[in-house]
Structure 1
Amino acid sequence: MKMLQIVCGEKLDEEILALFQNLGIKGYTMIKGVGGSGQTGTVSGTGSSIDRNTLFMVALEDEHIHMTQVLNAVKEIHAKYVHGYRGLEIPLKVFLHPCEVIL
């Protein structure tokens, strides 16, 4: 099992949610107002939507077809914004971790 984590600028929330809906992913966690610091700078998590991130977490089985589909769809979202950000880092990161269900 893998834990897929998507951290994105809040303005991308609707696209990520639409992606889940289109792929039939019903189980996910969404945490809004996430702050932090990284390649796109520091985000307080408390200001306007420009200054807030969202963390999505989805547990997927290793052989689950959705894993490849989700990763490809997120890459498409990223590619869509490359020109608009004109060389700046796009506020969208994806992480894949091993995951073990304890309870």
Structure 2
Amino acid sequence: MAVASSPFERVTVTMPAELVAGVDRYERNRSRFITEAVRHELKRRRHLELLRSLDEPHPDSLATAALGLEAWAEALPTEDSDLLDPTAGLPLRWSANLGWQEPVS
């Protein structure tokens, strides 16, 4: 997965010899292998960060949720008012014990 026209930087990485041998068993181009491994790890960490943020939302997110999406959208400057349709999507509420939940009808 190459990134089009992204700048490259040379880095020096020191690794145990057995890891280098393991890389060489699967890939002749060490840089490509390590680049793919780092991309995979960064994606995994971003995913974990997202899950953590869902479990423990930022206080500003809680304030927005308490205010209500429709009221928040109405408070946007008029030039941004078409960015959000508060009637679209699924209504949710935050529960400190359970996380985001559908409201009980």
TM over 0.5: no
Is the radius of gyration larger for structure 1 or structure 2?
2
Give me the TM-score of the superposition, normalised by structure 1.
Answer: 0.26
Higher helix share goes to which structure?
2
Give me the TM-score of the superposition, normalised by structure 2.
Answer: 0.25
Tell me which of the two structures has the higher relative contact order, counting C-alpha pairs closer than 8 angstroms and 6 or more residues apart.
Answer: 1
